[in-house]
Chain A
Amino acid sequence: MDPQLNTGLLLDGVLVAVLVWVAWAALWGRGLFRSIVLFIAFGMILSIAWIRLGAPDVGLAEAAIGAGLTGALLLATWGALPERVGEEEAADEQAEESADERA
């Protein structure tokens, strides 16, 4: 078997595994700020994936728009949410975790 092909496939496999892991941690983890930061990281890793797929235009667009601008929008909105909403969100997550333990 050609070892060069194997290394590329191994890199692709690692990228896919990291993408799925970071997406899972971002969407199902605790803490909204942590989710947003992990989502920005997800976008950055995804732009590397686009390069691996031979799509540099898409990689440029994903890095600038998908990770950069979407991340800035999310952080700006998160920061502008009223404080009461933040406390309520923490209480919601605690209730969800205890419901998960009971189920």
Chain B
Amino acid sequence: MSGGLLFALGGIALFAIGISALVLRPHLLRKILALNVMASGVFLILVGGGSGVQGVDPVPQAMVITGIVVSVSATALGLALVLRIARMTGHASLPEDRNRAAAEAKAE
């Protein structure tokens, strides 16, 4: 097993952790963190899988640099939206998550 493959498997684990936190944790800021972790996992898969015995492959590296810049733009836009939602509604979570939590608490 090479180092690149090890990082790629770690990237798969990061993707799984990220997507489970995205679905299951209600706070919007935490969802944005989860999206960033998912993106980092995918970048590790791209570059880790591409580092073979033929040498370092520059094309996935260029794609990952592009991906990092795009994901910071999306994060910034998402954070601005979260701030606006929090200021207008007073909550930082989606109504579906709040209703589910309230129903669970009531069923106890």
**Interface positions of A (Cβ within 8 A of B):** 8-9, 12-13, 15-16, 19-20, 23-24, 26-28, 32, 35-36, 39, 42-43, 46, 49-50, 52-55, 57-58, 61-62, 65-66, 69-70, 73-74, 77-78, 80-82, 84-85, 88-89, 92, 95-96, 99, 102
Contact = CB atoms under 8 A, between A and B. Distances in A.
Contacts, number: 142
> In which size bucket is the chain B interface?
35 or more
Interface residues of chain A: helix, strand, loop or mixed (majority): helix
Contact of B61 (A52, A57, A78, A95): A57
A46 B4 CA distance: 14
Interface string B51-91: 10000100001001100110110011001101100110011
A9 B33 contact: no
Nearest to B105: A95
Of A24, A46, A58, chain B has the most CB atoms within 10 Å of the CB of A58
Interface of B: 1-4, 6-7, 9-10, 13-14, 17-18, 21, 25-27, 29-30, 32-34, 36-37, 40, 43-44, 47-48, 51, 56, 61, 64-65, 68-69, 71-72, 75-76, 79-80, 82-83, 86-87, 90-93, 101, 104-105, 108
